[in-house]
Protein backbone atom coordinates (compact mmCIF):
# COMPACT_ATOMS: atom_id res chain seq x y z
CA UNK A 1 0.00 0.00 0.00
CA UNK A 2 2.90 2.30 0.75
CA UNK A 3 4.21 1.74 -2.77
CA UNK A 4 0.83 2.68 -4.22
CA UNK A 5 0.70 5.95 -2.32
CA UNK A 6 3.85 7.18 -4.04
CA UNK A 7 4.97 9.12 -0.97
CA UNK A 8 8.29 7.26 -0.81
CA UNK A 9 10.63 5.90 -3.43
CA UNK A 10 11.16 2.19 -3.95
CA UNK A 11 14.60 2.54 -2.38
CA UNK A 12 13.11 4.17 0.73
CA UNK A 13 10.44 1.47 1.00
CA UNK A 14 13.06 -1.23 0.50
CA UNK A 15 15.15 0.14 3.36
CA UNK A 16 12.13 0.67 5.60
CA UNK A 17 10.59 -2.78 5.18
CA UNK A 18 13.76 -4.79 4.46
CA UNK A 19 12.42 -6.06 1.14
CA UNK A 20 14.14 -5.82 -2.23
CA UNK A 21 12.92 -2.91 -4.38
CA UNK A 22 12.34 -5.28 -7.31
CA UNK A 23 9.99 -7.36 -5.17
CA UNK A 24 8.06 -4.26 -4.03
CA UNK A 25 7.74 -3.17 -7.66
CA UNK A 26 6.47 -6.62 -8.67
CA UNK A 27 3.91 -6.67 -5.85
CA UNK A 28 2.72 -3.19 -6.80
CA UNK A 29 2.30 -4.14 -10.46
CA UNK A 30 0.44 -7.32 -9.52
CA UNK A 31 -1.90 -5.43 -7.21
CA UNK A 32 -2.63 -2.75 -9.79
CA UNK A 33 -3.26 -5.42 -12.43
CA UNK A 34 -5.53 -7.61 -10.29
CA UNK A 35 -7.12 -5.20 -7.80
CA UNK A 36 -10.51 -5.49 -9.49
CA UNK A 37 -10.55 -9.24 -8.95
CA UNK A 38 -10.05 -8.80 -5.22
CA UNK A 39 -13.23 -6.80 -4.93
CA UNK A 40 -15.35 -8.80 -7.38
CA UNK A 41 -14.60 -12.30 -6.19
CA UNK A 42 -16.87 -13.35 -3.36
CA UNK A 43 -17.93 -9.80 -2.64
CA UNK A 44 -21.66 -10.55 -2.76
CA UNK A 45 -21.27 -13.56 -0.52
CA UNK A 46 -19.13 -11.62 1.94
CA UNK A 47 -21.61 -8.75 2.09
CA UNK A 48 -24.53 -11.14 2.59
CA UNK A 49 -22.62 -13.01 5.29
CA UNK A 50 -21.71 -9.76 7.09
CA UNK A 51 -25.30 -8.54 6.87
CA UNK A 52 -26.63 -11.82 8.26
CA UNK A 53 -24.11 -11.72 11.10
CA UNK A 54 -25.20 -8.18 11.96
CA UNK A 55 -28.86 -9.21 11.88
CA UNK A 56 -28.13 -12.18 14.15
CA UNK A 57 -26.21 -9.95 16.58
CA UNK A 58 -29.08 -7.46 16.66
CA UNK A 59 -31.65 -10.21 17.29
CA UNK A 60 -29.48 -11.52 20.12
CA UNK A 61 -29.25 -8.01 21.61
CA UNK A 62 -33.03 -7.50 21.29
CA UNK A 63 -33.62 -10.76 23.13
CA UNK A 64 -31.19 -9.77 25.87
CA UNK A 65 -32.87 -6.38 26.29
CA UNK A 66 -36.32 -7.98 26.44
CA UNK A 67 -35.18 -10.35 29.19
CA UNK A 68 -33.64 -7.47 31.13
CA UNK A 69 -36.78 -5.35 30.71
CA UNK A 70 -39.03 -8.20 31.85
CA UNK A 71 -36.81 -8.83 34.87
CA UNK A 72 -36.76 -5.18 35.84
CA UNK A 73 -40.50 -4.84 35.29
CA UNK A 74 -40.96 -7.55 37.92
CA UNK A 75 -39.21 -5.43 40.56
CA UNK A 76 -41.84 -3.22 42.27
CA UNK A 77 -39.75 -0.06 42.69
CA UNK A 78 -38.26 -0.29 39.22
CA UNK A 79 -41.62 -1.17 37.71
CA UNK A 80 -43.06 2.10 39.05
CA UNK A 81 -40.14 4.05 37.58
CA UNK A 82 -40.58 2.42 34.18
CA UNK A 83 -44.25 3.42 34.20
CA UNK A 84 -43.30 7.00 35.07
CA UNK A 85 -44.25 6.94 38.73
CA UNK A 86 -42.08 7.37 41.81
Q: Rounded to whole angstroms, how far apart are CA atoms 44 and 41?
A: 8
Instruction: Give pLDDT tens digits for 71-81.
Output: 887 777 776 77
Query: How far is CA 13 from each of CA 3, 18, 34, rounded to the nearest angstrom?
Result: 7, 8, 22
Q: Is the pTM here over 0.75, yes or no?
A: no
Instruction: Give pLDDT tens digits for 3-46.
Output: 888 899 989 988 998 888 999 999 999 888 888 777 776 667 66
Query: How far is CA 31 from each of CA 25, 35, 73, rounded to the nearest angstrom?
Result: 10, 5, 57
Burial of residue 24 (number of CB atoms within 10 Å: 0-12, 13-18, 19+): middle
Amino acid sequence: MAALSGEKTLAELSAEFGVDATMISAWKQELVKRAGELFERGNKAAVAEDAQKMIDDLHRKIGQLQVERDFLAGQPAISRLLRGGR
